[in-house]
Structure 1
Amino acid sequence: MEAQTAARKRSRPRGKAALETSSLSIPTPARLTRGRLALLASLAALGALATNIILPAFPAMGREFDVLPRDLALTLSVFFLVFAGGQLLVGPVTDAIGRRPVVLGGLIVFIGGSILCSLAPSFEWLIVGRGVQAAGACAAAVLARAIARDLYRGPELTRALALVMIAMAAAPGFSPAIGTAMSSLFGWRSLFVVVALAGALVTLSFLRTVGETLPPEARRSAHPLRTAQAYLHLSVDLRFISPALACSLIIGCLYTFFGAAPAIMMTNMGFSAADLSIFFAATVFIVFGAGLPASRLALRWDPSRIGIAGLSITLLSGIWLLALSDGAHTVPFLAAVSFFLGGMGLVNPIATAITLEPFGDRAGIASALLGFFQMACAAVGTWLISELALPPSAAFAVVVASGSMLAFIIFLPAVFRRSKPTKEPA
């Protein structure tokens, strides 16, 4: 017994080493629970829910405010702009003061913005409400990934992030169907009430399930100069930038699909609004079926090799879509899109886990920069759909093929780095 006690004392880090160990340790037991996973998924899904649920209500909103459909797109662009930029502010703040106050503050802002949208007396006030809503939603999205990194590591982190990524894909998939039903029954303002109630439920769940996950000794200064230096260091760190950009390019292709699908499937292929909603809902199960096994596969093989396999699938789907770019082949097009979604569901949680795992001491900043890259790629992809002098199906194929090719090439250093043997110290 005395020998065991002495061994334990010798194994304890002391001085600076002890502080570094505690700052990188997991403050709560790294055990996956349904409550925690559901909360992380809900935090990640709020932004997508608030965006896609209003799409079916655009005609009614346009009639009430007497604005053109192209003007209603401002409700999306303002949301994405605030969402992308806000993440860069939220990241360093949450690393400095902890997760709990930022989550609660963000959720309160999100609920307030949703209520403002539901009561908007004019189109201008609706735009203001969408900006406020996005400011709160970006905090939730950043914290979903940061809290996952606080709580879990290794395969459990991959599993947690897989559910987070599935939720981000599920919200765009199911929310248009919810929006269609609610707006037809209760009017378009009811959609923002639903979103506000969802935010309130997530707030209660956070208070009951997780709370603070970043201990005081692990927090970092949010001084502007140090924050800028931290972002700069991450941007030139190959461990971060390689998987982060690869993941973001694939997410950009996903949002491009949601933006291009109405023009391709309704205008060119004759889908009704109900048909499109059903297909969006079906995509959730494809992403779920591909993403759920990711953590189990990571137990048997190197995660980077699983990621490159997923990127190979998305690249093949992009080539397939290029061959169908005339938009006249409905079933092959749907099959190619499903193939892409399967690859995306496989690579997204793996690449996100690889991106965040080395940076547990600055998970908030790392998550924020990753989220910024993702929203930037989404903005570029949806912009290209309208700017390329091509039919929508051809423009979408070009975005997926080129985005997947870039992601594949950019991700290769992560594969080589992780497969390179580590030299033992002399």
Structure 2
Amino acid sequence: MRAPSAAQVAVVAMLPPLTMNLAVGLQPVFSDGSRLPPAQAGALVGLYALGLGLGQFLAGNAADHWGRRPTLLAGLALATVATLLGTLADAAPLLLASRLLAGLGLATALVVPRACLRDVHAGQSLQRAMAVLSMVFALAPAITPPLAWAATELWSWRAALGLGAALVTIALVASWHGFPETRPPGTRPPSLAAWAALQRHAGVRRTVLAFACAAAPFFVIAALGPAALQSSVGFSPGAAALLLGGTYLGFAMGSQWVRHRAATPGAHHVALGIGLVAAGALLLAATLAWPATALWILGLTLYAIGHGVVFPASFSLVLQDVPHQAGIAAAAIGTVHMVAGACSAWIAGALPLAPHPMLVLAVGATAGASALAWWRMPRPAVAPAR
């Protein structure tokens, strides 16, 4: 069985966060109400994340049933059509529908790389590989919001979305020519019984919920961050995009920590990451009383580092527990993660509260829910030592 190269996995895995964060950079452009109503502007992120969440359920079943390669190619083909439609859209309903369809297609680019890593890695090697994959994720939030804003300033918002469409098309052609099949012979076909068994697994359930709540603030910050920074400290759209992108390099720092400490149990990393997420939420809450740029930078960076620690450790824990159904295991944690993030961003954007206090409230609530899930939910039974 030939494993995909690091470059192949990186190119595919970068697509979902990259195309989502292109919309983050467009938030200041659409939030003025001239092109979309304010509530629908937030849906550019929310609908895409919802598509990523729901699509992973389908992608996980397909990856275990038909294989990793055909599942990826089908998803990238759908995403190519959807991103092109979004670039050419001349009405709000078509633009929003294209975002949902793009998310559904690119869900395969989340499930398949993780399943492939589980196919060829285990134990410390798996946690290290997941950390490297997570570092790839960190690049997209760092570079795409300012890139999207700059493309819009120089040309139009269609140029930013067109960049995403071009990258997805290139990835489809490259994957068609070189992405290998890695599904092992012992993979069990997906079924409702398999999903039910996964849900009953105490360790999987606890990790999935704690991770989903720890990751949800990312979507809230993506949707409300530019407007909150503008109202709190007077940042321009370009400055807000640069700050949000720059602080999210902390995600790479967190993942790098896990990569260098792959021998440490994943549960320890998750606990550390949730603590950092909570600390970041507290600092962001402090900006309500002291709206200082330094507090924003520190709070966002601490959150990003915590997210970067929790991300690879959580996926490693879940995939390690379900070795013969890596597709649905990757889909389970990814689906809950994305749906929770999409709903958090959508609700936060729709409630009649100013962006700054709404961001603080949503980030604090989800960070607290993550801590409760991790420390209060039942843990898997441990066999007694002999």
TM normalised by structure 1 equals 0.81
Q: Is the 8 A contact 1:304 1:414 kept in 2?
A: no
> Aligned ranges for residues 50-129 of structure 1 at < 5 Å?
50-57=19-26, 67-129=36-98
Residues in 1 aligned to 2:364 and 2:248: alpha-carbon distance in whole angstroms: 22
User: 2 CA distance for matches of 1:189 and 1:127?
Assistant: 14
Rounded Cα–Cα distance in structure 2 between residues aligned with 1:165 and 1:298? 13
Could you say which residue in structure 1 is the equivalent of 2:269?
Answer: 306
> Using the alignment, how far apart are the partners of 2:112 and 2:182 within structure 1?
10
Deviation, 1:61, is 7.0
The reply to whether residue 375 of structure 1 matches residue 338 of structure 2 is: yes
Query: 1:282 and 2:246 equivalent?
Result: yes
Indicate which of 116, 124, 134 corresponds to 1:147.
116
Deviation at 1:97?
0.6
Question: 1:130 corresponds to which residue?
Answer: 99
CA offsets per residue over residues 97-116 of structure 1, 9 Å max, x none? 10010111111111111122
Which residue of structure 2 aligns with residue 243 of structure 1? 207
Q: CA RMSD in A?
A: 2.9
Please tell me whether the aligned partners of residues 179 and 191 of structure 1 are also in contact (alpha carbons under 8 angstroms).
yes
Other-structure match for 1:399: 362
Instruction: Tell whether 2:137 aligns with 1:168.
Output: yes
Moved more, 192-201 or 322-331: 322-331
**SS of the residue aligned with 1:298?**
coil
CA contact (8 A) 1:65 1:123 kept: no
Equivalent residues of 2:273, 2:306 under 8 A apart: yes
Do 2:211 and 2:314's aligned partners in 1 also have CA atoms closer than 8 Å?
A: yes
Give the equivalent residue in structure 2 for 1:5: none
**1:214 and 2:180 matched:** no
Amino acid aligned to 1:94: A
- Report if aligned partners of 2:286, 2:295 keep a CA contact under 8 Å in 1: no
Residue 193 of structure 1 is matched in structure 2 by 162
- 1:16 match: none
Structure 1 position 357, deviation (Å)? 1.1
Give the greater-gyration-radius structure (CA): 1
1:362 Cα deviation after fit: 0.9
Cross-structure match for 1:20: none
Aligned partners of 1:276 and 1:62: how far apart in 2?
A: 14
SS in 2 for 1:293: helix
Query: Deviation at 1:272?
Result: 1.3
> Which deviates more, 273-282 or 73-82?
73-82
TM-score (normalizing by structure 2):
0.88
Compared CA separation, residues 154 and 206, structure 1 to 2 (3 A) = farther
Once the two structures are TM-superposed, the CA of residue 285 in structure 1 deviates from its matched residue by 2.4
2:279 is aligned to 316
> What residue ranges of structure 2 are gaps of 5+ in the alignment?
none
Residue 310 of structure 1 deviates from its aligned partner by: 1.8
Deviates more, 1:193-202 or 1:317-326: 317-326
Residues 336 and 129 (structure 1 numbering): CA distance in 2 closer, same or farther, change over 3 Å?
Answer: closer
Partner of 2:220: 256
Judge which range, 373-382 or 185-194, deviates more. 185-194
The Cα of 1:208 is off from its aligned counterpart by 5.6
Aligned to 1:9: none
CA separation of 1:266/1:318 partners in 2, compared to 1, >3 Å: closer, same or farther?
A: same
